[in-house]
């Protein structure tokens, strides 16, 4: 009787396992991600920020606020917001900017556009460069790998923030002389360019490592044995197996670049007035920490929440793609 | 003299990190001057032309023929002999001025300060290719026949011509002037008239290590870090009625973040108890003046000698109606609030401050300009409409975008936002052009190559005569003319009137002429009057003699005193 029971149980488990194994790795990953409730919330936050950024003009006009309209009446004689909590009122839900009386909510919404634009574009550029360099380096090995490896090390060792600061003005001028529209366009192009120059190494190193191990695997050898060319092996055999680590890097890179944009703005290398950006808001608000602390918290919290959301999603994606990870049971 | 304060520096340092740096410890008999600048614009006496820097160098390391008394209030605007025994004697109807040097004057190396050194120093100010940015009064006033390119490039004949204009007889130096200058002994308070030993002159590099004639000398000078002054034992107090040199050491700390400077002075701990800083940020004003009573005692809020204004490039904006439109559309009240409200100052009605008394009369204001500083958008639009027919090209330029060069600081970003917003309402576009390092702002816009439409300006008279304001700001020979107004059809008339006013000997009659010329410029709007500025400064709790020196709108740095701990 006992043996029969256990046999039955074994049968059931086996059949269950069979049905589970029929799912593709991607379906499995999605299922694992969905079990992570925190990650789902974080994803919702990211989507919310994206929607707000994309529809900023619409949202602001619906709310009847403008990021550029001055409101001197909301300021006292010191140029500081009237009333407590940074001038929070029915007309200005998050208060007004000291000095000008511009609406902070509207500037936050418009600022999200710059931050997101820079974050996503910079990630796109660095990932594209990183994948190409990484695959070439890992697949070719030998001299090519050695040379690329040294370049990678050199780039990593560079004090990139210092260089970013030092190069800002000369490079922006050069860009403008190349016909890129002066003003904010050239500044955004510069930020993305410089982040691209320094950011690709992180992706490249991960991709190279992955490629090194993949290229020795049987399926690659099989492809090679059946006469597949380098291009086919790279694009059809290696690439599809690289997306997991790349996605993880990407989700962790975006908030990094959003924060970098803020840093540059904070250092005065960001957008030109009157454009709003979170970094510029932070840079400005820090000075008012004593006179108007509310102003400091608002852009700070917005940035923290976004960066945190991306990190949570990034972690969840990594866990979902890697069954051995230890955060599976978090749900 | 130029205004030093340009705005807030680029913030490289977080507030928190600098706060901890200043905690703890006692203090020494050292004055600490905190600034956001990377260096002092010019320490070379013939190049120094910034109010604050003149007060600094003139009270510590350099002496001139005459000086303003080192005193608070109106007494500080009186002059007295410095290197000279008295305030000079004039003859030939004010066309010849003679000064006799005191005995026992020495440089830091012990060598004697001679009449020839003063003459050589003055001659340097003619070499405008090397000795840049300095006052040009010597060139304007001295009767040097023919061209004189300064001592470096002069031929023997040219040098001889200069030596005829400035002669030395023993200890007496005589200046021969082109025409009567009744108050030339005020001109000689400028460090243009400070001695430079020819053998020690390093030309352009002299800026970094001028030889001291005052009670302090340079121990070290590192751009971006600090300038350290120590006692000059060759200086004899018996030769000096004004300098007291109480402190053992004066350290000028460069490259600090402005908000951090305010924080350090508010916190008042350790060495910061003997620190001073010129200017308080708008965000700190409330804390300082309406927060703690003890803090307000260590700070001052007063009318400094400066007028803040905005230069228009008259060459590009050759149409008066467009300039009118800009002035009418500008939200001056918003700008004033962004700078700290009433602490910024009062709306200016011209370029001569009421403090000038005899030279000031309220000019008639532009029709339609609102007294309360709010914009008159309707009138601005009407002016633009008029410009469309009268001068369509200039109007089109204004619509296409006017280049506004501004120092890239938080306050100026806001000011630019206000400019962009106000001009937009009148259909005028502003193209912001950021100048990264605030200290490079004046050199950038004063470069004739820089193609701007609008730049800011700030000016104080060099002495109590509008001859140091109107000609300096609006004639082509002036030291700070950023309006590029030479092509204006009225310019010739203006220059004739300026020369007439300069040559008017009766001071009251001259005053009336300056009043009229002030009106002349206000009518033509070569520049837009901004604010009769107020200035706020703060000092540490152990600082004495912290009065603001009237003519310069700055501390009398050399006489700052540390209240030593009782032992």
Instruction: Give tens-digit pLDDT for B324-334.
Output: 999 999 999 99
**Taking CB atoms and an 8 Å cut-off, how many pairs form between chains A and B?**
104
First to last CA, chain B: 43
Provide the CATH number for the domain around residue A287.
1.10.3720.10
Answer whether residue A5 is part of any domain.
Answer: no
pLDDT of residue B18: 37
Higher pLDDT residue, A169 or B79?
Answer: B79
Reference B256, options B287, B226, B286, B281; nearest CA is B226
Report the SS3 class of residue A312.
helix
pLDDT of residue A68: 87
Answer whether residue A27 is part of any domain.
Answer: no
Higher pLDDT residue, B99 or A13?
Answer: B99
User: Which chain A residues have a beta carbon less than 8 Å from that of B418?
Assistant: 70, 100
Answer whether residue A220 is part of any domain.
Answer: yes
| Interchain pair A79, B282: CB under 8 A | yes
pLDDT of residue A224: 85
Answer whether residue A70 is part of any domain.
Answer: yes
Q: For B291, which residue in chain A has the nearest alpha carbon?
A: A291
pLDDT above 90 coverage of chain B, percent? 70
Task: Give yes or no for a cis peptide into A274 (omega within 30° of 0).
Answer: yes
| Interchain pair B11, A267: CB under 8 A | yes
User: Which chain A residues have a beta carbon less than 8 Å from that of B281?
Assistant: 287
pLDDT band at B214, cuts 50/70/90? very high
Averaged pLDDT of chain B: 90
* Cα–Cα dist A29/B465, whole Å: 82
- How far A239 CA sits from the closest chain B CA (Å)? 42
User: Which chain B residues have a beta carbon less than 8 Å from that of A77?
Assistant: 337, 341-342
pLDDT of residue B8: 32
pLDDT above 70 coverage of chain A, percent? 90
Contact A113, A53 (CB under 8 A): yes
DSSP percent split of chain A into helix, strand, coil, nearest 5: 75, 0, 25
Contact B422, B467 (CB under 8 A): no
* Cα–Cα dist A53/A67, whole Å: 13
Helix axes A104-140, A37-54, angle to 10 degrees: 110
Reference B52, options B18, B119, B3; nearest CA is B3
pTM for the predicted model, two decimal places: 0.78
Q: Is A99 on the interface with B (CB under 8 A)?
A: yes
Interface of B with A in 246-265 (CB under 8 A): 259
pLDDT of residue A7: 47
Count of other CB atoms within 10 angstroms of residue B496: 10
pLDDT of residue B440: 78
pLDDT band at B14, cuts 50/70/90? very low
| Interchain pair B421, A266: CB under 8 A | no
pLDDT band at B25, cuts 50/70/90? low
Residues 6 or more apart in contact with residue B523 via CB below 8 angstroms: B363, B364, B366
Q: Is B342 on the interface with A (CB under 8 A)?
A: yes
pLDDT of residue A243: 78
B343 phi, psi to nearest 5 deg = -70, -20
Residues 6 or more apart in contact with residue A148 via CB below 8 angstroms: A133, A136, A137, A204, A208
Tell me the per-residue pLDDT of B369-380, one tens digit each, with 9 for 90 and over: 999 999 999 999
Answer whether residue A12 is part of any domain.
Answer: no
Report the SS3 class of residue B132.
coil
Q: Is A274 on the interface with B (CB under 8 A)?
A: yes
Residue B13 reports pLDDT greater than 80: no
Reference B249, options B273, B232, B265; nearest CA is B232
Over the range B538-567, which residues count as b (16 or more CB within 10 Å of their CB) and which as e? bbbbbbebbbbbbbbbbbbbbbbbbbeeee
Q: Quote the domain boundaries for residue A76.
A: 40-321
Indicate the helix (H) or strand (E) that contains B532.
strand B527-539
Contact B22, B270 (CB under 8 A): yes
Answer whether residue A245 is part of any domain.
Answer: yes
Contact B141, B135 (CB under 8 A): no
Q: What angle do CA B127, B128, B129 make, to 5 degrees?
A: 95
Tell me the per-residue pLDDT of B456-510, one tens digit each, with 9 for 90 and over: 999 989 888 899 999 999 999 888 899 999 999 999 999 999 999 988 878 899 9
Contact B183, B137 (CB under 8 A): no
**Total number of domains in chain A:** 1
Answer whether residue A195 is part of any domain.
Answer: yes
Q: Is A288 on the interface with B (CB under 8 A)?
A: yes
Answer whether residue A258 is part of any domain.
Answer: yes
Rounded mean pLDDT for each run of 10 residues along chain A, 331 residues in total: 47 50 72 84 91 91 88 82 82 86 90 87 91 87 87 86 80 80 81 86 88 86 86 82 82 83 75 82 82 86 88 83 54 41
| Interchain pair B414, A272: CB under 8 A | no
């Amino acid at each position: 009787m006992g043996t029969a029971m256990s046999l039955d149980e074994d049968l059931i488990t086996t059949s269950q396992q069979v049905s589970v194994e029929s799912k593709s790795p991607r379906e499995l990953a999605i299922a694992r991600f969905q079990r992570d409730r925190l990650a789902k919330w974080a994803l919702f936050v990211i989507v919310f920020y994206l929607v707000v950024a994309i529809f900023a003009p619409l949202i602001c006009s619906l709310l009847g606020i403008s990021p550029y309209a001055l409101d001197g009446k909301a300021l006292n004689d010191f140029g500081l917001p009237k009333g407590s909590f940074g001038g929070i009122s029915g007309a200005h839900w998050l208060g007004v900017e000291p000095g000008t009386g511009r609406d902070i909510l509207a500037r936050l919404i418009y600022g999200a556009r710059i931050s997101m634009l820079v974050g996503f574009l910079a990630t796109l550029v660095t990932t594209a460069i990183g994948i190409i360099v990484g695959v070439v380096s890992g697949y070719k090995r030998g001299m090519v790998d050695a040379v690329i490896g040294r370049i990678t090390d050199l780039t990593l060792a560079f004090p990139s923030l210092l260089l970013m600061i030092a190069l800002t003005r000369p490079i922006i001028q050069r860009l403008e002389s190349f016909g890129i529209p002066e003003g904010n366009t050239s500044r955004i192009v510069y930020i993305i360019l410089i982040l691209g120059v320094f950011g690709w190494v992180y992706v490249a190193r991960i991709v190279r490592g992955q490629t090194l191990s993949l290229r020795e695997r049987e399926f690659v050898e099989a492809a090679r044995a059946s006469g597949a060319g380098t291009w086919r092996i790279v694009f059809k055999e290696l690439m599809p197996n690289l997306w997991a680590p790349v996605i993880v890097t990407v989700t962790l890179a975006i908030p990094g670049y959003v924060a970098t944009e803020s840093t540059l703005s904070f250092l005065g290398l960001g957008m030109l007035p009157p454009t709003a950006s979170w970094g510029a808001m932070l840079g400005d608000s820090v000075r008012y920490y004593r006179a108007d602390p509310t102003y400091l918290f608002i852009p700070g919290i917005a940035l923290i929440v976004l960066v945190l959301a991306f990190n949570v999603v990034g972690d969840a994606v990594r866990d979902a793609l890697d069954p051995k990870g230890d955060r599976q049971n978090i749900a | 003299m130029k205004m030093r304060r340009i705005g807030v520096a680029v913030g490289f340092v977080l507030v928190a990190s600098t706060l901890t740096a200043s905690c703890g410890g006692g203090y020494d008999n050292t004055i600490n001057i905190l600034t956001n600048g990377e260096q002092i614009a010019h320490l070379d006496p013939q190049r120094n032309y910034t109010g604050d820097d003149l007060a600094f160098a003139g009270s510590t390391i350099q002496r001139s023929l005459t000086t303003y008394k080192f005193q608070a209030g109106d007494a500080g605007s009186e002059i007295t002999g410095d290197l000279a025994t008295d305030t000079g004697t004039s003859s030939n109807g004010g066309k010849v001025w003679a000064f006799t040097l005191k005995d026992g004057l020495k440089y830091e190396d012990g060598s004697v300060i001679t009449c020839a050194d003063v003459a050589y120093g003055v001659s340097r100010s003619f070499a405008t290719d090397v000795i840049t940015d300095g006052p040009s009064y010597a060139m304007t006033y001295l009767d040097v026949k023919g061209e004189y390119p300064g001592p470096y490039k002069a031929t023997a004949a040219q040098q001889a011509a200069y030596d005829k204009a400035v002669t030395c007889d023993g200890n007496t130096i005589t200046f021969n002037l082109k025409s009567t200058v009744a108050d030339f002994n005020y001109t000689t308070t400028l460090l243009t008239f400070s001695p430079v030993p020819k053998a020690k002159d390093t030309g352009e590099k002299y800026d970094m290590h001028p030889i001291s004639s005052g009670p302090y000398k340079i121990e070290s000078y590192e751009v971006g870090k600090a300038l350290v002054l120590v006692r000059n034992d060759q200086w004899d107090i018996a030769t000096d009625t004004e300098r007291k040199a109480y402190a053992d050491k004066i350290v000028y700390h460069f490259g600090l973040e402005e908000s951090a400077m305010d924080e350090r002075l508010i916190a008042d701990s350790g060495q910061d108890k003997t620190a001073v800083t010129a200017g308080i940020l708008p965000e700190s004003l409330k804390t300082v003046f309406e927060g703690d009573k003890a803090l307000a005692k260590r700070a001052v809020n007063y009318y400094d000698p400066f007028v803040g204004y905005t230069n228009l490039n008259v060459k590009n904006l050759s149409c008066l109606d467009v300039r009118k439109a800009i002035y009418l559309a500008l939200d001056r009240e918003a700008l004033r609030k962004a700078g700290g409200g009433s602490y910024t100052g009062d709306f200016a009605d011209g370029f001569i401050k009421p403090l000038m008394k005899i030279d000031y009369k309220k000019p008639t204001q532009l029709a339609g300009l609102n007294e309360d500083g709010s914009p008159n958008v309707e009138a601005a639009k009407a002016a633009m409409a008029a410009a469309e027919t009268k001068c369509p090209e200039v109007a089109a330029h204004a619509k296409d975008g006017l280049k506004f060069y501004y120092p890239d600081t938080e306050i100026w970003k806001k000011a630019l936002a206000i400019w962009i917003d106000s001009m937009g309402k009148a259909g005028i576009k502003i193209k912001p052009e950021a100048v990264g390092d605030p200290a490079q702002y004046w050199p950038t816009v004063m470069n004739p190559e820089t193609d701007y439409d609008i730049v800011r300006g700030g000016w104080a008279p060099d002495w109590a005569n509008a001859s140091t304001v109107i000609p300096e700001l609006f004639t082509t020979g002036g030291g700070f003319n950023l309006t590029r107004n030479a092509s204006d059809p009225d310019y010739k008339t203006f220059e004739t009137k300026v020369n007439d006013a300069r040559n008017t000997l009766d001071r009251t009659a001259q005053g009336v002429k300056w009043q009229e010329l002030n009106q002349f410029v206000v009518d033509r709007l070569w520049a837009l009057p901004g604010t009769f500025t107020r200035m706020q400064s703060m000092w540490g709790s152990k600082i004495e003699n912290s009065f603001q020196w009237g003519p310069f709108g700055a501390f009398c740095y050399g006489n700052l005193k540390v209240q030593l701990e009782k032992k």
